[in-house]
Structure 1
């Protein structure tokens, strides 16, 4: 893989190549990507989607929206720092093509901003509950009517694949979705493969999948244009990651490691003593002890440690990226950047404490259980109304239910797979509160 192709400004529908030297420096194409994502309705819905604590009543706990904004800020720093070093190593990119280090920051920031855009309500349990409905719930009746890959797409419903769909799918009068640059889409593609075959390998890119069958051609076109290394072809395609994906992933890893930990402390689920013990180990080489002890309030001490910790991990991630740049460009780097971190032991200690005290807290578990029921019930009502409509067997009840769906999701002229997948995507688009509200409506608990 080579950087000139990887930094493509091309968008779906372009007939001519977009050259970096011809860009308006006041608003680059990569900046346009960021703007289009942040103004999209899919991004706005993240303001009421779970990051860690579902339906939290406190105002300082992170949602998917605040998490995504913070990941984009960290991603921008990672991209700029790495971009500066990449241009020093490959000066032709600047001298011949006009690329600047800010370009790398803008691409990573945009991809990082959108990294959770396809995630369902109720956190990761939302993804699992959609899949479970078709795997072991009432939706299992559709298995024999779908191809293996189609069925796998929905039983392993994946937020990353849904995000790619949201950003690229055609709508009537709107070609190419948000029409983002291929460089940004490439950096977003964390798992550049389809749902089958499953690959139980140690390669980080094989952990999940990155596109549904409906977006296979689009995905392949983007990957081919970027010159991503193809790792399998024929009936089942997969590619090596875009190098900047590793920086997007590092930004996410850094934020959830440090900030979820901070949320746990602010909620009283983790004692401040642990924060001192665990975070100070991470920043012991950069902490200003005098300044730290001058801070009278817990929130200020935590903010100081958090800022130092994030900066420490940013510098470490960029160093790892550059040390392994050749292997990454060759598609031969198989783990996340933070797996190579010299702070790996400290990171694992923090994550283990967050898992025990935050992710598995009673409040979280109880609300995730409720989320399973809510999502299964909503899916069941809409799926059966749509299928009955397709079969011309819809009752008055089914027709009433369909009137509550946005028009885009009411279409029944599609294949069964597309109807089921679209319904999954509709449920995934709901905020936590919207899902609860719709569930109350269809169960007759709220008029």
Structure 2
């Protein structure tokens, strides 16, 4: 892979190349991507979606929206850091093509901002709930009517693939979705493969999948423009990662490691003295002991250690990327950037505490159980109504249910897979509160 192609400014529908040296510096194409994402309705719904603790009533616990904003800030810093080093190593990118260090930061920031845009309500349990509906629940009946890959898309419903669908899907008046640059779409796709085969290698890019069957051709177009390396065999489609996807992943890893831990402390799920010691171990070489000892409350101590920790890991991520840049461009770097960090042991210690005290806490588990029930009921009601209409035999009740769906469902596709996937996409775009409200309407408890 080469950086000239990887930094493509092309957008869906373009007939001519967009050259970097011809860009308006006051409104750069990569920065337009960020604006389009942040003003989208799909992004706004993240303000009421779970990051760690579902349906939290406290002000200081992160939602998907605050998490995404923080990841974009960290991603921008890592990207600019890497951009400066890449331009020093490959000076022709600046001299001949006009690229700047900030371009790398803008791409990573935009992709980071969108990285959770396809995630369902109720956190990662939302993805699992949708999958279980088709694997073992009511949706299992559709298995024989779908191809293996179509059925796998539903059984392993993936927020990353749904995000790519949201960003690129055309609809009336909005051809090409948000019409982001291909560079940003490439950086967004951490897992550039289909749902099958599952985890064919130990490469980090094969851990999950990044696009549904409905967006396969769209992703192939993006991959070909960017010059991503094909890695699939026979009829299976997969590619090497866009190098900047490693930085998006690193920004996410840094934020959820540090910020989720901070949420656990603020919620009282992790003891302050115990937790602060873990953070101090991460920043021991940069901490100003005198300044730290002057801080008199938990919030200030946490803020200080968080800032130090994130700054430390940003520099670490950028250095690790450049140390492995040649392997990354060859598609041969098989681990996440933070998995080769010199702070790997400290990071693993923090994540272990978070898993035991936050992710597996009774508060989280009880609300995830409720989320399973909500999503299962929504999917069942909508799929029954949709399939009955698809078969030309909707009941009066089905007609009422269909009115709860967006106008885009009025002209149903004649493809069962498309209809089922669109139901999943609709449910996934609901906020936590809206999902619960719709559930109450269906149960008749809203009156």
Is 1:36 aligned with 2:44? no
Q: Compute the displacement of 1:414 (Å).
A: 3.0
Distance 2:155 2:410 in 1: 22
Correspondence for 1:100: 100
Distance 2:409 2:340 in 1: 44
Alignment deviations for residues 361-400 of structure 1 (CA, whole Å, 9 cap, x no partner)? 1010000011111101000000010111111111111001
Counterpart contact for 1:250–1:337, Cα < 8 Å: yes
Correspondence for 1:202: 202
Q: Compute the displacement of 1:280 (Å).
A: 0.5
Distance 2:390 2:237 in 1: 32
The 5 A counterparts of 1:291-306 are: 291-306=291-306
Distance 1:133 1:10 in 2: 38
TM-score (norm 2): 0.99
Correspondence for 2:276: 276
Correspondence for 2:75: 75
Q: Compute the displacement of 1:425 (Å).
A: 0.4
Distance 2:114 2:370 in 1: 27
Correspondence for 2:173: 173
Q: Compute the displacement of 1:277 (Å).
A: 1.1
Q: Compute the displacement of 1:174 (Å).
A: 1.5
Residue aligned with 1:52, SS: coil
TM-score (norm 1): 0.99
Q: Compute the displacement of 1:146 (Å).
A: 0.4
Correspondence for 1:140: 140
Is 1:398 aligned with 2:398? yes
CA RMSD of the aligned region, Å? 0.7
Q: Compute the displacement of 1:227 (Å).
A: 0.2
Counterpart contact for 1:387–1:412, Cα < 8 Å: no
Correspondence for 1:385: 385
The 5 A counterparts of 1:300-339 are: 300-339=300-339
Runs of 4 or more, structure 1, over 2 Å off, are: 409-414
Residue aligned with 2:231, SS: strand
Q: Compute the displacement of 1:311 (Å).
A: 0.3
Q: Compute the displacement of 1:200 (Å).
A: 4.5
Correspondence for 2:125: 125
Distance 2:382 2:175 in 1: 27
Distance 2:274 2:435 in 1: 36
Stretches of structure 1 that go unaligned for 5 or more consecutive residues are none
Distance 2:92 2:200 in 1: 39
Residue aligned with 2:105, SS: helix
The 5 A counterparts of 1:145-294 are: 145-294=145-294
Q: Compute the displacement of 1:292 (Å).
A: 0.4
Correspondence for 1:86: 86
Distance 1:414 1:433 in 2: 32
Distance 2:356 2:127 in 1: 21
Stretches of structure 2 that go unaligned for 5 or more consecutive residues are none
Correspondence for 1:437: 437
Q: How many residues align?
A: 447
